[in-house]
Amino acid sequence: MKRIVIAFLLNAFVLPGVGQIYLGRKVKGVVLVMAVNLLLLAALFFMMKISSPVIAAHLSGTPITPQQVLEAIQPYSLWAKLLLSALLGVWGFGLVDLISVLRSPPHE
């Protein structure tokens, strides 16, 4: 019982998939870790894409208004919401998967 609690905490607070790897479910754990890493990489790409006009304006000395910042962010708002939803979905799937392991009867 203690191993499943440690796996759940690893999955919840460290990285989704680490708990599965800890329990020996390596394929599912590696797939979850890879999915989370790809989603985080996509989030980093979007953050750089969104912030580049703001950084360029700052470096050139051009004053930038809040309205210009909002205009730079607006085209990516839907993608950001979808990306966040996907990340939360993978995280939730990892936790629900570990709860299902907890509820399943032990193998003999």
Give tens-digit pLDDT for 70-83: 888 888 889 889 99
Per-domain residue ranges for the chain? Answer: 2-103
* Contact criterion met (CB below 8 Å) for 46 and 79: yes
For residues 16 and 29, what is the distance between their CA atoms, to the nearest angstrom?
Answer: 8
Name residue, tokens 């208004």: 65
Give tens-digit pLDDT for 36-69: 999 999 999 988 888 888 888 888 988 888 888 8
Q: What percent of the chain has pLDDT over 70?
A: 95
